[in-house]
A and B are shown apart, each in its own frame.
Chain A
């Protein structure tokens, strides 16, 4: 089958790949471009670990076709830190012990980033709603909710 060229911005850099028409964005990111922050969990859109932002909107990259991302801006958890400087969400996740095994963490961070981009002072219920598509097996969610609320109140939280 002929490959289709696709170009998009990935965390601020222009990237290009040849993809099969039915290839998922998650596959292109992980196998094609070596971007391993989004994880392959259920592959069915039910666990949230593959969550990325496309033009600022959270999407499940395991259900998103790469060809549909032509010309768009894809952002992953790898794009959060500014060099050695952690994003306030990352710092809050560390401070509040919001990760144990860490497998859900990139998806949680991305879902939280999408929330804070729109709503810098979310309520607890709004935080819960924002991460309700992301499954965590270790933490019991409470430390994650606490971390996101703390990041919302930290300086620089809205940094894109």
Chain B
């Protein structure tokens, strides 16, 4: 028995959003009489942090404190229309819609403040701390709260905004079949180091190292947690998970979480991520989105590392011990590839 180490690499150019009949998102924003804003969306936050990112984008555009913005994703029946939280489109599509809505709401907010201060709305600026004042004359000031109350009870104005961001359907060229379904691309490269046991066929992911280019990172800690959690899921898809291990046969399929294999906390692979920021011209504040690409490059990188370690190409997921042992036998034994790269020195 011997354990063989191998290194594999994969890179990904990942399109944000989709284009099946166009890809619209809407956002509605309104202020209550206290000067607190609600952003209504129909796409939901399923843990990736969309609410927080939406809140930051809205607050930054409105010019109010982030604490004064709430995001309501309660009901897709009554909320503004959205295609949904998938295709890694949340930050990019909803963020852009929120900016449009927030600009309109900010315009009304400043008009209402201008009426109270008896100045031109074009001369007003916000300080991001809940105040509006005349540019260059900070003493000529009114709070967002007082403005919202005046709009509601004196002026009869709704401080509100509507936003939509639409990627229209891309036509298909009749002759070439060419179309452009994508707008923003994010990029990543990931290196996986594995150890393969040639007696049991077991693969251990020793460590992973990656670089992700995601446009502007709107919330760094949330991006990091998404990348770390997504990489775990990538390992799980690469080596463990399947509902039908002998597809298309359903034989030996898992019936519960005892049999549906996933790596547990004991199988955590050390993971080092570097995030690069190159703001996207069409992204909200330059943001694109990590989303599904957190997991994607892990699968081919692990498959390549297994090939490098023992010389077998397993091209069906997950790469189970059985598949590796059968492939090694068919290949006439273990045939390790050349060791790639220098010593691992990132920790």
Say whether B258 contacts A46, CB under 8 Å. Answer: yes
Asked whether A128 and B266 contact (CB < 8 A) given A100-B47, A138-B47, the answer is: yes
Q: Does A143 sit at the interface, judged by CB under 8 A?
A: yes
Q: Does B332 sit at the interface, judged by CB under 8 A?
A: no
Q: Which A residues between 132 and 147 are near B, CB-CB below 8 angstroms?
A: 132, 135, 137-145
Q: Which A residues between 29 and 48 are near B, CB-CB below 8 angstroms?
A: 42, 44, 46-47
Q: Does B276 sit at the interface, judged by CB under 8 A?
A: no
Q: Does A156 sit at the interface, judged by CB under 8 A?
A: no
Question: What does the 1/0 interface line of B226-266 toward A look like (CB < 8 Å)?
Answer: 10111111000000000000000000000011100010111
Say whether B225 contacts A102, CB under 8 Å. Answer: no
Q: Does B344 sit at the interface, judged by CB under 8 A?
A: no
Say whether B228 contacts A140, CB under 8 Å. Answer: yes
Asked whether A135 and B266 contact (CB < 8 A) given A97-B225, A140-B233, the answer is: no
Q: Does B2 sit at the interface, judged by CB under 8 A?
A: no
> Which residue of the partner chain, among A131, A140, A144, contacts B231 with CB atoms under 8 Å?
A140
> Looking across the interface, which residue of chain B has its beta carbon closest to that of A148?
B265
Q: How far is the CB of A95 from chain B (nearest CB, A)?
A: 10
A139 to B226, CA, bound (A): 7
> Looking across the interface, which residue of chain A has its beta carbon closest to that of B258?
A46
> Which residue of the partner chain, among B49, B222, B257, B266, contacts A44 with CB atoms under 8 Å?
B257
> Looking across the interface, which residue of chain B has its beta carbon closest to that of A102?
B47
A140 to B299, CA, bound (A): 15
Q: How far is the CB of A135 from chain B (nearest CB, A)?
A: 6
Interface size on B, residues (CB 8 A): 24
A132 to B176, CA, bound (A): 54
User: Inside 8 A of B48's CB, which chain A residues have their CB?
Assistant: 100
Say whether B47 contacts A141, CB under 8 Å. Answer: no
Q: Which A residues between 103 and 160 are near B, CB-CB below 8 angstroms?
A: 127-128, 131-132, 135, 137-145
A131 to B266, CA, bound (A): 10
> Looking across the interface, which residue of chain A has its beta carbon closest to that of B257?
A46
Asked whether A100 and B229 contact (CB < 8 A) given A132-B266, A141-B268, the answer is: yes
User: Inside 8 A of A145's CB, which chain B residues have their CB?
Assistant: 265, 268
Q: Which A residues between 72 and 105 are near B, CB-CB below 8 angstroms?
A: 97, 99-102
> Looking across the interface, which residue of chain A has its beta carbon closest to that of B230?
A140
Q: How far is the CB of A51 from chain B (nearest CB, A)?
A: 14
Q: How far is the CB of A48 from chain B (nearest CB, A)?
A: 9
Say whether B262 contacts A135, CB under 8 Å. Answer: yes
User: Inside 8 A of B339's CB, which chain A residues have their CB?
Assistant: none
Closest 8 CB pairs of A and B: A140-B232, A101-B47, A100-B47, A46-B257, A141-B265, A97-B225, A140-B229, A128-B265
10 sample A-B contacts, Cβ–Cβ < 8 Å, listed by A number = A44-B256, A46-B257, A97-B222, A97-B224, A100-B226, A132-B266, A138-B229, A140-B228, A140-B230, A141-B264
